[in-house]
Structures are given as structure tokens and as C-alpha cells.
Amino acid sequence: MASLAEDLRPAAAATGKLPVSLKLGWSSGAFGVAILMNGISGLILLFCASILKIDPWLAGAIIFVSKMFDVITDPIVGMWSDRYESPRGRRRPFLLWGAWMSAASFAMIFSAPILANQWLTASYVFLALCIYAFGYTLFNIPFMAMPAEMTDDTHERSSIHAYRIVFVALGSLIAGAGSKFALERLGKTDPQSYMWLGLGCALLILVSTLIAYFATSRARFTLRAEDQPSSAMVQMRGEFAAIRTNPDFLRLIGVKFFQLMGVQTTLAAFAYFMVQYLRRSFDTFALFGLVSTIATIAAAPLLVSLSRRTSKKTAYFVAAGANIAYSLSWTMAAPGEPDWAIVLRAALVGTAVAGNVTMAMSMLTDIINHRLLQFRRKTHRCRGSIDRRRAAFDGRLRQQAEFRTPPERQCRSGAAAGSVVVAHAVWPGGRVVAGGL
């Protein structure tokens, strides 16, 4: 554990391998996050329009506005966790709060009542979506900041995220294929089916996110800086200034924004496209989800190994190529699409998810820490020069005052502690890959 006097510097260099139990424990939180995000993204439009009888335009509007609420809360929670002080670390308490709120919101959404008119029903769903957005942010923003504090080894960060992507794949399987498989048998037009599905998934979300909280009790973490700005607005301006001067960070975030924006657009329309256009039953989702999950789990260690032999950027581009091929292949899809084509697409997108998530998040922490080290080196050089000048000046003062200052009253000034402001912002979204990372 770091002390406050050490600012944001880690308590000790951690360049060796982390315990597998810690990687598994932390990564288990991604299982609940994947169910939460993919379950709602994949079903909410269909649920609102078909079950709650909300006009599609109104359902789309409340979903969009709730996403804007999420955009606002992301930096707020990020700064809050940066400034929070607790014996359990800055991040872990948020995991506990977010676990309960996320699970409750999932149950709320799929237990939505059909009220007197669609505006009242839409208002309830909007409130539940806002609670979901805040619960997701409360858990996931501090959760994703933890690997950078756990270890200084860049390849260990890739390994941590490779474990995470396995849980993401399993959670996505439950949220995507599992939920559709269950609804096909419980009754996909029965509101009670969605209620039981919501309660079951909420329990899985709660258990997995609480495991992540308890399993990281012995993980290395850092504390806030002593001289961190007292004003949140001052801190926010400083963080945005740091972002503007970090071109690598801006480039990676820009790529991820467009890429993930495409993914979310595809995900929102996927159920409607498969059922209404391709005329497939929900059982097709089980096949698609199973194959994509196997592909993700198999591709994650292979891409980590490729990144060690070449570079993380190369592995990321391989995954991006799979993503592009997957997306473009749907332009040739038509009713009566053969099963082998569905399976091939599932394998492609599973590989893409493994690389896009693992490599992007690993590179993000590398970029932030590289910038942090550059800042520290500049700070130490500057401070060294100031200290030398101050020492010479203090020496002259002591020589002049020595005859009248008792030895027990003389003192030496200690070096001021350095401050670090790390901008952390990851936007969810899509598909387009830009060059020059």
C-alpha cells in the first residue's frame, strides 16, 4: 500500500507475475458487467417495443438520453474515485456500491410494469435505465483503473485483460445466447418470462461483482496525492489539459470511440435483424453465442502471445481485420442463410472481441503510465535544479545567520512531494480502425 506521502507512486515495483487467484478474482467482475451491458443492449429495444408496447421512436429516445446521462457521470465517477480515501483503497469501495446498484437496475428494467399509457411506462424505464447507467459507471470505471495499479509490467497487464476477456465472453454468452434460449422456452412474448430472466441475471451480476470486490482485498493499490487540487473543477481542467497533450492517448481513444460506437449500433439491432429479417428463431443466438465465446477464449492467449513476439499494435490490427470482415459479411446475408455462414461470422467476431478488448485496454494503461513516467522524470529534473539553487541560497543564509541562530533552532527544508494527475476516460462504442497508433 502506498502512503499519502508517496502521492500516486506505487508502494513497491511490481514487475513479476501476479497470482492467478488475483487475476481470476478481479476478472470475475467482468462476467457481471458483460451480462449487465450486453443483456440490456441486446434486449431493451425489443422488450420496450414488443412487450411494453412503447412506440419504437420513444423507446429509442429514452435509450439515447440515458446514454447521454452515462456520458456525464463517467468523468464524475472517475474523479470521485481518484480523490476518494479509504483503507480499502480508492477503487474497491466503488465496486461494492456499483455491484448492488447494477444488479438492482437489471431487475428493475425487466420487471417494468405496463402502466396506463406508454408515457408513464417509458418514464419508469427511463428512470431504471439511468440507475443502470450510474450503477454500471460506479462499478466499471474504478474497476478498469485497477490493473494499472496492480502491476508495472506491461505484459502482465495484457495477461490480466486476457483473463478478463474470458469472463466477458462467458457473460456475453449468458446475456446473448443464454437469455434468448431461455426466452424461447419460457415464452418470448410473455412479460413474466422477462421478469424471471431479469431476476436470474441480476443474481449472477451481484455474485460475480461481489467476488471481484472481495478477491482484490490484497491487491496493490495507490492513494490520492497530498497536494491534489481541492477543487474538482481544477482537477478536471488539469486532466483535460493532460489529455490534450497526449497524442497517443487521443489516437487510441478516438479509434475505440468509433469502433465501439459501431459495435453498440450492431448489438442494438442484432436481435431485430436476426428475427425479423433473417427469420431466425432465438435458438440461432445460442449457436452464435456459443461459437463466438469459444473463439474469444481460444483467441485471447494466442493474441497475447502474438503481442509478446511482435507488438500489441500488431495484435490489435489482426483483431480489427477480423472485425471488419465480420461487419462487411452481413451485407451478403439473406433469409435462409446457411448455418455454416452464421458459425463463421461468430468465430470472426469472437476473435475480434478478444483482440479489441485485451489489446486496447492493455495499451491504454501503457500509454497512461508512460506519460506518468515522463512527467515524473521532468518533475525530478526540475525539482533537482530548484533544490540545488535553494541549497546554495540556504547555505549563504546560514553563513550570514550562523552567529546569531542557536544550533538547535536551525532546520533543513525537505523536498516537496510531486503530484500526478492521470486522465482516465474510456468511451464504450464500435468498429472503425484508424492507423498510426
Q: Integer distance in angstroms from the first to the last C-alpha of the chain? A: 33
Under CATH, which architecture does the 17-223+232-377 domain have?
Answer: Up-down Bundle (1.20)
| Predicted TM-score of the model (pTM) | 0.67
- Give Cα separations from 201 to 37, 96, 182, 433 (angstroms): 11, 18, 11, 33
Residue 257: its pLDDT value, please? 78
**b/e per residue 262-276 (b: at least 16 CB within 10 A):** bbbebbbebbeebbe
Beta-carbon contacts of residue 237 (< 8 Å; ≥ 6 apart)? none
Q: Within 13 A of 134's CA, how many CA atoms are on the CB side? A: 12
Residue 258: its pLDDT value, please? 77
Distance CA 347, CA 99 (A): 31
C-alpha cell at 134: 450510474
pLDDT digits (tens, 9 = 90+) for 133-190: 999 999 999 998 888 788 777 778 778 888 888 898 889 888 877 888 888 888 878 8
Residue 374: its pLDDT value, please? 56
Task: Quickly tell me which residue has 522524470 as its cell.
Answer: 377
437 residues of the chain, pLDDT tens digit each: 333 233 333 434 455 688 888 889 999 999 999 999 888 888 888 889 888 999 988 988 998 898 888 888 888 888 888 877 877 778 889 999 999 999 999 999 999 998 888 999 999 999 999 999 999 999 999 998 888 788 777 778 778 888 888 898 889 888 877 888 888 888 878 889 999 999 999 999 999 999 999 988 887 766 555 545 566 666 667 666 766 777 777 777 777 777 777 776 676 667 667 777 888 877 787 788 888 888 888 888 888 888 888 888 888 888 888 888 888 888 888 888 888 898 899 899 888 888 887 787 778 777 766 655 555 454 444 444 434 444 443 444 344 433 343 434 333 333 322 322 222 223 333 333 333 34
Beta-carbon contacts of residue 389 (< 8 Å; ≥ 6 apart)? none
Q: Within 13 A of 163's CA, how many CA atoms are on the CB side? A: 19
C-alpha cell at 388: 540545488
Domain ranges of the chain: 17-223+232-377
For helices 312-329 and 247-272, angle between their N-to-C axes, nearest 10 degrees: 30
